[in-house]
Amino acid sequence: MLRMQNLKKIYRTHLVETHALRDFSLEVGAGEFVAVTGPSGSGKTTFLNIAGLLEEHSEGLYAIDGVDVRGLSDDARSRLRNEKIGFVFQSFNLIPDLDLFDNVDVPLRYRGFDRAERRRRIEQALGRVGLGSRMKHYPSELSGGQQQRVAIARALAGEPKILLADEPTGNLDSVMARCVLELLEEINRQGTTIIMVTHDLELARRARRNVHIVDGQIVDLDASAPRVAARREAAAPAA
Amino acid sequence: MRKSPILAALLQHKVAAGLIAAQIALTLAIIANALYIVIDRTQLMARPSGVVEQELFVLGLTPEGSAEQRRAELLADLDAVRRVPGVVGAYLTNSMPLSGGGWSSSVVLGPDGAGGAESNTALYMVDETALGTLGLNLVAGRNFEPGEVQWHEAEKPLRPDVVIITQALAERMFGDEPAVGRMIGISGVRGEVGSRVIGVVERLVTPWTDWGRFGKSTLIPVRSDGSPRIAVRTRPDALQQTVKAVEEALWARNPQRVVDGLRTMPEMRAEQHRGDRALVFIMIAITICLLAVTALGIVGQASFWVTQRTRQIGVRRALGATRGQILRYFQAENAIIAGFGIVVGVTLAYVVNYWMAENFGADRLPWFYLPIGAAIVLLLGQVAVYAPARRAAAVPPAIATRSA
Ligand SMILES: Nc1ncnc2c1ncn2[C@@H]1O[C@H](COP(=O)(O)OP(=O)(O)OP(=O)(O)O)[C@@H](O)[C@H]1O
Ligand SMILES: [Mg+2]
């Protein structure tokens, strides 16, 4: 699903070069649920941005769903983002001027679906996160947890192969955080690959696989290869 | 049915969007009217007079003494002017086209004129040389003969036996029927119809530039000994030298005389249209200012919105919007605002025009100025929003995760 090999990301400003990712190799298979942890500034968001095609990497190889993204045009990257990737952000990032229906509609319009198809998907996605009855509400009328569920519905409506979440529970209290995580787990069970950055080790432990990043590198070498199904089954009861 | 999300989002910012729309509406209403005035006046200024303007000038004579003495002196002056080298022709008259001053009269039809119209006309006193001197084009009938030219008796009303009229007047009076041979009455009393139309000239405008009577002139074979003018045609490109030579020739005949009212036709045309030119200038200035102010307003508002929505733009990019789609979002948003402005502006343009028509006698605005005005403000909006929209399109998608 996602393959990174000897990836480097260097931020150059006029004063310093920051090696945000160095010699970064990771493979994530279809259907995995990966939790990414690490200290602040270690490169978690950088990794997620590159994985989600929000930023370009400096060196190395990155392929998503078999497509090598090196040298793709900005438009091609946008299309790939739109079709294969769903985003969930720490601060929800709903559009305040639009009601829930129109918020979930945003990526679907960019996709070019017709009206009926969009409506079907919006109703289904909002139904799936338990907000089917509030389509005409505005984000400001919802709690944080509800907003994040709308954001998840928005990410899911396009039926992405992979869902990327950067601290999706970071702005939520622990009850709401658990709720959101359960939703993500449920989505993962239905087949969507999920990579989630989190500071919450308890939440991370619930994921089937943990990747720990320190100083732009994965520290647990064991974690850089996908686990075979048998080991995943074995690990699950322990979590 | 659901509203377009761009419209839905705009409706969350009714005041800001409404202000821009109102500005666009006002601009449209004013520039549509201003544009009409500019085009109308420009056409008015460009109308041909029918005479060889570049070769003509006029000056005033002030003969003294008894009627006989004055007439003799005028004829001697005329003779002297005609002999000046560079002079092609000269005749005594009361007025010149575009001069701003002259005689006007009503014209009535003869008893055979049932169904015809009455009109107003400018009266030009001329002799048999005037057609050649002015460079008029006789399209029907004949010129005056020397014997037909009479001195005007000061106390008596004008009753020329024969007249030459312009085509515009002929059409007004007689429609499609031939004018030559028909009887008309000038000086306006029905029943006193004693003038026969002997010729029609293609074009000769009045001394005044208003639209109504502009082309409707009558040439009468009359000389006045009151204080007539002398119209002079020079050789091409010799206007200025000949003006001096004629003045000197007149002074040579009588060093004490006053030569006044000397004006060339180009001067008269410029003077006559001074107001029109000023109005055109003002209207163009107003139009440019309004367009500039409105464009700045749009740029300012759009820039503010781009800044305000930077994060939202990043999120849209993250969700798969291409740069082009972001660019088009802001263009579409501006088009929607302009659309509202246009609907209001078209209505307003009619109100403004109606008000000006009622209060200042302005002409009614031809309808096609409204789509032209609408197209201008729509284009203006798109041009103004382009730079902010480009900036929006350049917002990197990583903004979505980077700015917490
Ligand atoms: N646009 C940028 N320009 C320069 N340096 C950057 C840029 N973005 C990130 N960095 C640097 O790259 C390093 C990794 O940053 P990143 O945001 O990936 O960390 P993070 O693990 O997500 O941290 P946190 O847990 O605080 O969110 C940091 O040292 C950061 O300062
Ligand atoms: Mg981060």
Using an 8 Å CB-CB cutoff, list chain B residues near A91: 404
Q: Which residues contact B28 (CB under 8 A, 6 or more apart)?
A: B341, B342, B345, B346, B348, B349, B373, B374, B376, B377
A97 and B12 within 8 Å at the Cβ level: the answer is: yes
User: At residue A182, what are phi and psi to the nearest 5 degrees?
Assistant: -60, -40
A81 and B320 within 8 Å at the Cβ level: the answer is: yes
pLDDT at residue B314 greater than cutoff 90:
yes
At A35, which helix (H) or strand (E)? strand A33-37
Nearest to A81 among B13, B318, B401 (CB): B318
At A25, which helix (H) or strand (E)? strand A17-28
| Residues of chain A where predicted confidence (pLDDT) is lower than 50 | 221, 224, 227-239
CA distance B135 to B55: 10
Nearest to B319 among A48, A74, A106 (CB): A106
Q: What is the pLDDT of residue B174?
A: 87
Q: Which of B199, B226, B211, B183 is nearest to B95 (CA)?
A: B226
CA distance B158 to B155: 9
Read off the tokens for A59: 């060196």
Calculated CA dihedral for residues A12, A13, A17, A18, nearest 10 degrees: -80
Please return the burial class of B155, using the count of CB atoms within 10 Å of its CB with bins 0-12, 13-18 and 19+: exposed
Read off the tokens for A66: 């078999």
A97 and B13 within 8 Å at the Cβ level: the answer is: yes
pLDDT at residue B194 greater than cutoff 60:
yes
Q: What is the pLDDT of residue A229?
A: 40
The pTM of the full predicted model, rounded to 2 decimals, is 0.81
Q: Are B148 and B159 in contact (CB under 8 A)?
A: no
User: Among all chains, which residue has been given the structure tokens 């942890």?
Assistant: A37
Number of helices (H), then strands (E), in chain B: 12, 13
A79 and B320 within 8 Å at the Cβ level: the answer is: yes
For A154, the closest chain B residue by CA position comes to: B319
CA distance B276 to A203: 81
Ligand 1 center to residue A40 CA distance, Å?
Answer: 8
Q: What is the pLDDT of residue B191?
A: 52
Ligand nearest to the CA of A42: 1
Nearest CA to ligand 1 atom 16: A43
Residue A167, Ramachandran bin (φ over 0: left; ψ between -120 and 50: alpha; else beta): left
Q: What is the pLDDT of residue A74?
A: 94
pLDDT in tens, B45-90: 888 999 999 999 999 988 888 888 999 999 999 999 999 999 999 9
> What's the pLDDT band for B37 if we cut at 50, 70, 90?
confident
B8 and A54 within 8 Å at the Cβ level: the answer is: no
pLDDT in tens, B231-250: 999 999 999 999 999 999 99
C-beta atoms surrounding A9 within 10 Å: 22
B1 touches chain A (CB under 8 A): no
CA distance A68 to A66: 6
Q: What is the pLDDT of residue B350?
A: 86
Q: What is the pLDDT of residue A226?
A: 52
Question: Number of C-alpha atoms within 13 angstroms, CB side, residue A222?
Answer: 5
* Residue B260 β-bridge partners: B60
Which residue, among A72, A88, A97, would best test binding to B if mutated, counting the most B CBs under 10 Å from its CB?
Answer: A97
Q: Which residues contact A80 (CB under 8 A, 6 or more apart)?
A: A53, A64, A67, A69, A72
For residues B174-203, average pLDDT: 82
Nearest CA to ligand 1 atom 3: A11
Q: What is the pLDDT of residue A239?
A: 35
Per DSSP bridges, beta strands B217-220 and B119-125 are: parallel
Domain residue extents for chain B: 5-46+274-401, 53-263
Nearest to A95 among B2, B312, B402 (CB): B312
pLDDT in tens, B263-273: 999 999 999 88
Using an 8 Å CB-CB cutoff, list chain A residues near B315: 89, 93, 95
Q: Which residues contact A32 (CB under 8 A, 6 or more apart)?
A: A1, A193, A194, A208, A209, A226
